[in-house]
Structure 1
Amino acid sequence: MADMQDTMLLGLEGIKKTILHGGTGDIPKLRTGAKVTFHFRTQLCNDDRTVIDDSKVVGTPMEVVIGNMFKLDIWETLLSSMRIGEVAEFWCDIIHTGVYPLVAKSMRRIAEGKDPVDWHIHTCGMANMFAYHSLGYDDLDELMKEPQPLYFVLELIKVQQPSEYNRETWAMSDEERLKAVPILHGQGNKFYKQGQYQEATQKYKEAIICIKNVQTKEKAWEVPWLKLEKMANTLTLNYCQCLLRMEEYYEVIEHTSDIINQHPGAAKAFFVRGKAHMEVWNEAEARQDFSRVLDLDPGMKKVIKKELALLNMRMEEKNQEDKNKYKGMF
């Protein structure tokens, strides 16, 4: 029989803890800046205990820096009740699991080697409550529409105090982060000019993560938040320029559309998205985006004229190719 402390975690409402495997030593202190490494499994509270996410399947444990605005702060609370090596199951009620789908999307994208930046999470702190759109994963969309209690099975692997590991950008203070942004931005530009697009994307990404981390602490749509948003959008568009060169056109369309949905006046976002549409033969969309650029920034007239000429040429070539393809068929 589990003792009482196991079932009531730290007297917090809506959480029940069951220790599945005892750990060793004292419960480590999770100070701000400490890095916690752990495995997690997320399950539905149905008869099958359907597994939604499992870090062991992905093959790498999760790492979180305490006090670093990790979006699922309930995990910090759960981990702070565990010993090293302990495996525990936590039943968490809806009040603690509402943001899980957003965090899970982010973690899955990292696991798939896609982009670790929380593009969607920043809209209004919690979630896109007012502009719900698909997270790109059916099971997470379900959870988003109908939040429900979840089981988290956590295994605490190690805790490193701030002095014991290399402080990367995500372990910096806000002030350090903002100082790092122009440096990373410059490094990214340099790589871009040298044609090292993969390296450039890494630098831009790191800079965006720095900004987003600081931005989550500001009030959405107020002046400090908007200043950071503008910086982040500039970097995101640089990042997209790299993706264009790397022929990742659909990802470009996704990121630029995110910016446009939030900021319908972002001429440069329309321009970059137009170029991506052109590459994947979306003629109508490309024309529409280019004409929006002209509405928003008439100074771009010459550039757009060039792009449209290119688009016309591309479409003619494609039509000719299609004709030749079908000629052989009849």
Structure 2
Amino acid sequence: MEEEGRKLLEEGIRKKLISPGRGELSTFPNGTKVVFHYRSSLCDGTVLDDSRTMGGRSKPMELILGKKFKLAVWERIVITMRKGEVAEFTCDTKHTALYPLVSQSLRNISVGKDPLEGQRHCCGIAQIHSHHSLGHKDLDHLQANPQPLVFAIELLEVSQQWAASNNVKAYYKRGKAHAAVWNEKEARADFAKVLELDPSLEASVNRELKALEERLQIRSLRNGCNSGVAIY
């Protein structure tokens, strides 16, 4: 815990534990789904956004790790938390420059609007320097005056089924690719991994293996014909 705290400080993030979570800390591989409530505020306590009240309802944030969410610091801080943990993270300006754009999107979503409504079709950094209004005075002020922010996070759920699902798809796709070019050993290894991760795909894997065997037999017959010696 202390080592992680030092790492965060070196990165410009200060963590304050409010309530400890339970269980072991997850490994958080890419593809892990995390669900959490958040409250974003200025360092003087002024609240910008609260997922429990935004849009007149309580709706937690959902993130799939490794998908390059625009506000990367949220991914960084949630992977230091246990399920059920509540903590506050004070993040330096270098981590919060894009928050006005993220906040605008989240506010749009909370009232049923297109998350990109009101944003210009250019990269986030370009929008920051464009002086284009985001439609909210507090966000316009924050965009013009970047500053550290405090994110209070309650981690509700951590699901690695999403990560496992992505891995299954990757192995299955790669296995088919190997089979298509007669890489039998590699194809069988990938399909074996698919069954290890998701036994319910046995029928699909068996079909692919049968197709692979047929392709190998056809290839063997063709090679046998091509290697024959003509006698005159």
TM-score by length of 2: 0.64
- The farther-off stretch of 18-27 and 154-163 is 154-163
Q: Deviations over 1:225-276 (max 9, x none)?
A: xxxxxxxxxxxxxxxxxxxxxxxxxxxxxxxxxxxxxxxxxxxxxxxxxxxx
1:52 to 27, 43, 48: 48
- The farther-off stretch of 6-15 and 79-88 is 6-15
- The one-letter amino acid of 2:31's match is G
User: Identity of aligned pairs, percent?
Assistant: 44
* Pairwise CA distance, 1:119: 6.3
User: Residue 52 of structure 2: SS of its match in structure 1?
Assistant: helix
The answer to whether residue 166 in structure 2 is matched with residue 145 in structure 1 is: no
* Pairwise CA distance, 1:104: 0.4
User: Does the CA contact (< 8 Å) of 2:101 and 2:124 recur in 1?
Assistant: no
User: Does the CA contact (< 8 Å) of 1:19 and 1:88 recur in 2?
Assistant: yes
* Pairwise CA distance, 1:86: 0.2
For structure 1, the residue ranges without an aligned partner over 5 or more in a row are 177-330
- The one-letter amino acid of 2:6's match is M
Q: Quote the Cα distance in structure 2 between the aligned partners of 1:165 and 1:128.
A: 36
1:14-93 paired onto structure 2 within 5 Å: 14-46=12-44, 49-58=45-54, 59-93=58-92
Q: Bigger relative contact order, structure 1 or 2, given CA contacts below 8 A and separation 6+?
A: 2
Moved over 6 A (4+): 164-167
Q: Quote the Cα distance in structure 2 between the aligned partners of 1:165 and 1:114.
A: 32
Q: How many residues align?
A: 166
Between Structure 1 and Structure 2, the one with more strand by share is 2
User: Residue 126 of structure 1: SS of its match in structure 2?
Assistant: helix
- The one-letter amino acid of 2:160's match is Q
Q: 1:115 matched to which residue of 2?
A: 114
* Pairwise CA distance, 1:9: 4.7
How has the CA–CA distance of structure 1 residues 97 and 114 changed in structure 2, closer, same or farther, with 3 Å as cutoff? same
User: Does the CA contact (< 8 Å) of 2:118 and 2:134 recur in 1?
Assistant: no
TM-score by length of 1: 0.46
For structure 2, the residue ranges without an aligned partner over 5 or more in a row are 174-232
How has the CA–CA distance of structure 1 residues 164 and 8 changed in structure 2, closer, same or farther, with 3 Å as cutoff? closer
- The one-letter amino acid of 1:96's match is H
User: Does the CA contact (< 8 Å) of 2:35 and 2:63 recur in 1?
Assistant: yes
Larger CA Rg, structure 1 vs 2: 2
Q: 1:298 matched to which residue of 2?
A: none
1:234-249 paired onto structure 2 within 5 Å: none
1:1-330 paired onto structure 2 within 5 Å: 4-5=2-3, 7-46=5-44, 49-58=45-54, 59-117=58-116, 120=119, 123-163=122-162
User: Residue 77 of structure 1: SS of its match in structure 2?
Assistant: helix
Q: Quote the Cα distance in structure 2 between the aligned partners of 1:156 and 1:8.
A: 21
